[in-house]
Chain A
Amino acid sequence: MSQTKHSMGPMAPSPHLRVSGIHKSFGGVHALKGVDFEVARGEVMALVGDNGAGKSTLMKVLAGAHIADEGEFFIDEKSVSVNSPHDASDLGIQIVYQDLALCENLDVAANLCLGAEPIKPGFTFLPRLLRPLDDLAMEVRAQEAIDRLQVKTLKSVRAKVGGLSGGQRQAIAIARAVGADGTVVMLDEPTAALGVAQTRQVLDVVKRLRDTDHAVVYISHNMRDIFEVADRICVLRHGANVATWTKDDVTPDEIVGAMTRGLDSEATNAA
């Protein structure tokens, strides 16, 4: 863990979300062995590692989908506990899974407001589920979310998601995760299935998230994307931290080396 500190240098911004000493086992498999991780507002933190390094597990722990066996959570250096996805979203931690989970049969506005639809005032004699939707407020809200992320190619919030491109869908999934009060957004391989133009669109959205003072965790295998958007890069290997670098202090080759071999050479040098 000392390596983390040393590689980060004095420039590291004060973290918004910080976890330390996270342990997580699944049966006999020790997936996370005391991982430290942090991300600040207005920063894109890339999380990289080989398959099975524990990226997804860490992300699910952060999102409350898995509960850590051990470890501490801090938001703005205040200790908090995350024991369910609900806790995480109350703290403003949102996750965009790789499969996006959008409803293709509904339009953009409906997808963005799903589960929290605005309803018309009055009608208090009805249970909330049966009160009339305020679909115009829904469109307004969706339009605001889309504008905030500057998804320029999207023509109408009334378009069905089924007819949109991969990049647009990713942007909508991100917009839904961010919502009105998300502060930490975690993206799992957001460009994995996208072409060049679509990737560009998603990266623009990610930058836009950083510019609007969100803390972004970006999981990817694509070094080019990472070096384009990330401010810092955190490398995991075998369920433990290898190091965290600021982007300018490191090259893609070093990252790949750290992912696959760890920092043996450096470790031996130090010893």
Chain B
Amino acid sequence: MQPKNKVSLIARLRSMRETRFGAFVPVLLALAAIWIYFGLAVPIWDYWGDPDAETLRFIFLSPRNIYNLFMQSAVIATLAVGITVVLLLGEIDLSAAATAGVCAALLGVLVLMDVPAPIACIIVMVLGIVIGAAQGILVAYVGIPSFVVTLAGLLGFQGVMQKILPTGNLNVGDPFVRGFARVLLPDAMGWALGILCVLFFAWTILSKQTQRKARGLELDNKVAVWGQIAFFGALVLATVATLNSYRSVPLLIVLLIAITAVVGWITTSTPYGRAIFSVGGNPESARRVGIDVKRIRVSAFAIVGLMAAIGGIFGASRFGSVSYTAFAGGSLLLESIGAAVIGGTSLFGGRGSVWNAILGALVIGSLGNGLDLSGAGAADKLMFSGAILLLAVAIDAISRSGTSER
């Protein structure tokens, strides 16, 4: 009886993964598990274990902490979105964090030299694109494996960053740069944006459904359609409400979501995105239908470079400084690759989504934040992160082994 049930559960998980929305479920479950553990289980355990405790204190799930959580995860998420794009191709980028570091350092120096901050930001983004495209050319045209190219990039750019910042640290006080992380949307505007997002989401789904009917195509399940809308609505509005109840929706989060929406749209709804998926799935197939595989590769690396530069700007904005350890020398790289993979993006290419990368970043961020709150040391954090990463990839492997081996 039991094994039969188990098989059907895995089969159901597999069939669920095939739908576009279903791919979110594993990472959402992971996130829910972490939040329940740190948000509910740990406080209740403390309350019972400690007779002196007066009240239950849900620190982790307090609006203030969730606000911080979002801000902490934002830089990881930005890089993870970019890394997802190359992972879709079946390539990897180990240099993203170092690129972000170089870009952030250059931004700091430029601002210090009285270059207007918006221009400095554009220069830095162009630099990111150039760095990414250069690595992409080495991968696609010279034929060096991306692992090696970007490993060299990781080492080299760490050095470059140290050259730019001999002291290893530079404060960034420019109001424009700081503004990304500091500016808060007024409460009403946050609500308006959230509601607009939900309405737009509902409109696209429903209008697609009516068009399907008009063209005589098979229809989506009605429950699934409304379930998606309700779920998405609840998620967005709950986020806005939580952020508003502490401060309000920060500009950084809005920008992150907007950038992810653009990248997500490009990867799923344009011929270019299709080309990325097909190169990741079967490069030979892409080549035969006339897709310029090499150019697709280079452009994907350029996108990572751009996202790394944006991540660098966001990081400089949030920390108010550029430091070697915060970018190139720290754990940012592995956290952002981890975020992409925890989000369910395959390392072998062809499967994944940039939205999942954001959720993956939240998983990594929540884990670090929760362990910090419960007083765990750096060693515990590392071990837990490793375990979660392994668990996520294991869930991924089990849920898709059926389709990949046939």
Instruction: Check if B277 sits within 8 Å of A128, measured CB to CB.
Output: no
Instruction: Check if B286 sits within 8 Å of A132, measured CB to CB.
Output: no
A86: nearest residue on chain B (CB-CB)?
B290
Say yes or no for B291: interface residue by CB 8 A criterion: yes
| CB within 8 Å for A110 and B269 given contacts A103-B350, A160-B403, A162-B406 | no
Instruction: Check if A103 sits within 8 Å of B212, measured CB to CB.
Output: no
Q: In the complex, A110→B350 CA distance in Å?
A: 13
Say yes or no for A29: interface residue by CB 8 A criterion: no
Instruction: Check if B278 sits within 8 Å of A103, measured CB to CB.
Output: yes
Task: Name 26 A/B residue pairs within 8 A (Cβ), A-sorted.
Answer: A85-B288, A97-B288, A101-B285, A102-B285, A103-B285, A104-B350, A104-B403, A105-B277, A106-B274, A111-B285, A114-B274, A115-B275, A115-B286, A115-B290, A119-B271, A132-B270, A133-B269, A133-B274, A136-B211, A136-B215, A136-B217, A143-B217, A162-B404, A162-B406, A163-B403, A163-B406
CB distance from A110 to the nearest CB of B (A): 6
Instruction: Check if A114 sits within 8 Å of B270, measured CB to CB.
Output: no
Q: In the complex, A117→B286 CA distance in Å?
A: 13
Which residues of chain B have C-beta atoms less than 8 A from A105's C-beta? 277, 280-281, 350-351
* Residues of B contacting A: mostly: helix
Give the residue of A103, A129, A136 whose beta carbon is less than 8 angstroms from that of B208: A136
CB distance from A160 to the nearest CB of B (A): 6
Instruction: Check if A130 sits within 8 Å of B217, measured CB to CB.
Output: no
Instruction: Check if B270 sits within 8 Å of A130, measured CB to CB.
Output: yes
Chain A residues with a Cβ closer than 8 Å to the other chain, count:
33
Instruction: Check if B215 sits within 8 Å of A110, measured CB to CB.
Output: no
Say yes or no for B372: interface residue by CB 8 A criterion: no
A163: nearest residue on chain B (CB-CB)?
B403
Instruction: Check if B403 sits within 8 Å of A131, measured CB to CB.
Output: no
Instruction: Check if A106 sits within 8 Å of B18, measured CB to CB.
Output: no
Say yes or no for B7: interface residue by CB 8 A criterion: no
Give the residue of B270, B289, B351, B402 whose beta carbon is less than 8 angstroms from that of A133: B270
Which chain B residues numbered 350 to 406 have a C-beta less than 8 Å away from chain A?
350-351, 402-404, 406
Instruction: Check if A117 sits within 8 Å of B274, measured CB to CB.
Output: yes
Say yes or no for A5: interface residue by CB 8 A criterion: no
For the complex of A and B, the 3 pairs showing the least CB-CB separation, nearest first, are A115-B289, A105-B350, A103-B281
Which chain A residues numbered 112 to 162 have a C-beta less than 8 Å away from chain B?
114-117, 119, 128-133, 135-136, 139-140, 143, 156, 158, 160, 162
Say yes or no for B203: interface residue by CB 8 A criterion: no
Output the residue of B211, B266, B269, B350 with the most chain A CB within 10 A: B269
Say yes or no for A266: interface residue by CB 8 A criterion: no
Give the residue of A97, A103, A116 whose beta carbon is less than 8 angstroms from that of B277: A103
Say yes or no for A253: interface residue by CB 8 A criterion: no
* A-B contact sample (6 more), CB < 8 A, given A103-B285, A105-B351, A115-B275: A106-B274, A111-B285, A130-B270, A132-B269, A132-B270, A139-B217
Say yes or no for A99: interface residue by CB 8 A criterion: yes
CB distance from A254 to the nearest CB of B (A): 36
Instruction: Check if A116 sits within 8 Å of B403, measured CB to CB.
Output: no
Chain A 57-86 against B: per-residue CB contact (8 Å), 1 yes, 0 no? 000000000000000000000000000011
CB distance from B117 to the nearest CB of A (A): 29
Chain B 43-79 against A: per-residue CB contact (8 Å), 1 yes, 0 no? 0000000000000000000000000000000000000
Instruction: Check if A110 sits within 8 Å of B208, measured CB to CB.
Output: no
Which residues of chain B have C-beta atoms less than 8 A from A128's C-beta? 271
B290: nearest residue on chain A (CB-CB)?
A115
A129: nearest residue on chain B (CB-CB)?
B272
Give the residue of A101, A131, A136, A140 whose beta carbon is less than 8 angstroms from that of B282: A101
Q: In the complex, A104→B208 CA distance in Å?
A: 25
CB distance from B20 to the nearest CB of A (A): 10
Which residues of chain A have C-beta atoms less than 8 A from B114's C-beta? none
CB distance from A166 to the nearest CB of B (A): 9
Which residues of chain A have C-beta atoms less than 8 A from B272's C-beta? 129-130
| CB within 8 Å for A129 and B217 given contacts A163-B18, A163-B403 | no
CB distance from B86 to the nearest CB of A (A): 16
Instruction: Check if B284 sits within 8 Å of A162, measured CB to CB.
Output: no
Instruction: Check if B271 sits within 8 Å of A117, measured CB to CB.
Output: yes
Q: In the complex, A136→B350 CA distance in Å?
A: 22
Which residues of chain B have C-beta atoms less than 8 A from A119's C-beta? 271
Q: In the complex, A157→B358 CA distance in Å?
A: 30
Instruction: Check if A131 sits within 8 Å of B271, measured CB to CB.
Output: yes
Output the residue of A103, A106, A119 with the most chain B CB within 10 A: A103
Output the residue of B211, B272, B281, B351 with the most chain A CB within 10 A: B281
Which chain B residues numbered 192 to 225 have a C-beta less than 8 Å away from chain A?
208, 211-212, 215, 217-218
Chain B 17-30 against A: per-residue CB contact (8 Å), 1 yes, 0 no? 01000000000000
Chain B 121-158 against A: per-residue CB contact (8 Å), 1 yes, 0 no? 00000000000000000000000000000000000000
Which residues of chain B have C-beta atoms less than 8 A from A130's C-beta? 266, 270-272
Which residues of chain B have C-beta atoms less than 8 A from A99's C-beta? 284
Which residues of chain A have C-beta atoms less than 8 A from B218's C-beta? 156, 158
Chain A 191-203 against B: per-residue CB contact (8 Å), 1 yes, 0 no? 0000000000000
Give the residue of A115, A131, A139, A140 whose beta carbon is less than 8 angstroms from that of B291: A115
B350: nearest residue on chain A (CB-CB)?
A105
Which residues of chain B have C-beta atoms less than 8 A from A102's C-beta? 282, 285
Instruction: Check if A131 sits within 8 Å of B212, measured CB to CB.
Output: no
| CB within 8 Å for A140 and B281 given contacts A133-B274, A163-B403 | no
